[in-house]
Amino acid sequence: MKRHHLIRSLATAAVGALVLASCSGDGGGSDGGGGSDGGDVVLELVQSGDVNQGGGYATLTERYFEETGVRVDVIEVPNDDLRTRLRTASQANDPPSLAASPSTDPAWTDRLLDLTDIFNEVGIIDTLSVADPADGLVKALPTTLTAVGMFLNKSLWDEAGVDYPTTLDEAWTWDEYVELSDEVVEATDAEYGAVMDGSAHRLRAFLYEFGSEGVTEQPDGSWALDEAGAEALEYFKQLHQDGVMPQSVWGAADDPSATFKSGRVAGYMSGVWQIADFQETITDFEWVSVPLPQQPVRATNYGAASWIVAFDGTGVEEETLDFIRWLYSEENYREYCEISGCLPVLDGLEVSYEEDEYAFQLYNAEILESPPISAVQTTDGVLHGYQGKSVDSEPLQDETVKFLNNEQSLEDTVENIGRITTDQLAD
């Protein structure tokens, strides 16, 4: 794993999903004097995830109870509610024991427990290390790696007789992808050549592939999208105007996953978590993971799927730290990744997957080949929380939608992305 240095850029995690605990009255504390030395201790882990992630936590917490007698209640919160609930719990002085949050939040960063020792003990990838600038302490541990990748409807490509790369030794550009996917559409009943999730996370990977570094801090303290990023946005719009991508996903918020699963789209730019989902839900055609197109840069966008944070003031702080340390032990963490179908954050940890091992290996290989900028999105989200900056919107995504819908020019789009980002993040 490359050990990139943390780069200041706008890559703030999609913030609409922070967790807050749906807490029991005592913040998940001990019942009856608790503690791991004899009391009836109950911890609360608040998270928002899919069935696979929840299944991983459920399996491990059950075993943790068998081994220690400490119960960990996994509380699932809808993604859109997570941030509000965590803020509300903090304001009510009723935080959960711990949470899996997409970033940190100024509303509660001052009450996080120090996880520095655990971070150093378990060997987490350096690129996912984010210390609080105020005191140098690590207070958030990445749960798993998430990265952007490309899936094809293999059945359509095979039916059309069109070849595609399957390893990183067989690079293809976006121009080549469009040309080949057009052949697939013409030869089959496919409607579109590609679809991409409507998120800034996916769009950043697209920008990086065009040589952009996204929205970055300028010497004067303002933030701006670079020229390569503007060219990528123009190309992205052309894909929609030419009908390669459906207008309805980015322009009207249609579900991209459902669009791909309809079997009428040649390719899907999404995330690693889709592998486990596709294994269970796609039954009427074959799919395959392939290298991302590059134009000309090979780049994904990767980072922590979420961050484990633990709260002070719950009365079960030591028991919470004991559980986190246990969770990140090699044996337990490996099992979590295998059950959940996700990439590990422990440096060098080997994970065996029952199906589609090649797809996980492909994701890991693209992460290794990506430039340093590809690692900063989620770490910036944590850093901004420490710095008291609350990012409540994604101007890169919001302004791009306006551009795609012909509500503003490319020049206005670029200007607005920089201006709004500066309003959010400038000191």
Give residue-wise pLDDT tens across range 43-59: 999 998 766 666 788 89
What's CA 38's distance to the chain center, in Å? 38
DSSP letter (8 states) at residue 6: P
Q: pTM for this structure?
A: 0.85
Three-state DSSP at 368 gives helix
Which two structure tokens, joined as six digits, stand for 356?
Answer: 């589609």
For residue 113, what is the DSSP state? P
Q: What is the pLDDT of residue 50?
A: 65
Q: What is the mean pLDDT of the chain?
A: 89
Residue 20 has pLDDT above 60, yes or no: no
pLDDT at 199: 94
Distance of CA 246 to the CA centre of its chain: 23
Instruction: Tell me the two tokens of residue 72.
Output: 């960990």
| CA dist., res. 86 & res. 79, Å (int) | 12
Helix (H, G, I), strand (E, B) or coil at 371: coil
Q: Enter the DSSP assignment of 293.
A: P
CA distance 416 to 402: 11
257 in Cβ contact with 184 (< 8 Å): no
Please state the rounded mean pLDDT for residues 239-261.
96
Least reliable range by pLDDT among 8-17, 140-149, 267-276: 8-17
Residue indicated by tokens 């919160």:
77
Is residue 216 within 8 A of residue 8, CB to CB? The reply is yes
User: Could you write out the DSSP letters of every residue in 192-241?
Assistant: BS-EE-SSHHHHHHHHHHTT---EEE-TTS-EEE-HHHHHHHHHHHHHHH
Q: What is the pLDDT of residues 95-130, one digit of tens each?
A: 999 999 989 999 999 999 999 999 999 999 888 889
pLDDT of residue 23: 27
Phi/psi at 72 (5° precision):
-120, 110
Which has the closest alpha carbon to 98: 124, 80, 121, 118?
A: 118
Q: Which long-range contacts (CB under 8 A, 24 or more apart) does 166-172 make?
A: 166/288, 166/290, 166/291, 167/291, 167/362, 168/291, 168/298, 168/362, 168/365, 168/366, 168/369, 170/291, 171/291, 171/294, 171/298, 172/291, 172/293, 172/294
List helix spans (H) across 284-394: 317-327, 330-340, 357-369, 377-386
> Using 50, 70 and 90 to split pLDDT, how confident is the model at 393?
confident
According to DSSP, the residues that pair with 131 across neighbouring strands are: 138
Closest by CA position to 27, among listed 45, 48, 40: 45
Both tokens assigned to 97 = 């024991």
Q: Tell me what percent of the chain is helix, strand and coil, each rounded to the nearest 5.
A: 45, 15, 40
What are the pLDDT digits (tens) for 139-161?
A: 999 999 999 999 999 999 999 99
User: What is the residue whose two structure tokens read 């504390």?
Assistant: 29
Grouping H, G, I as helix, E, B as strand and the rest as coil, residue 157 is helix
Structural element, H or E, at residue 274: helix 274-281
* pLDDT, position 54: 67
pLDDT tens for each residue of 186-203: 999 999 999 999 999 999
Helices 227-241, 410-425: inter-axial angle, 10-degree rounding: 130
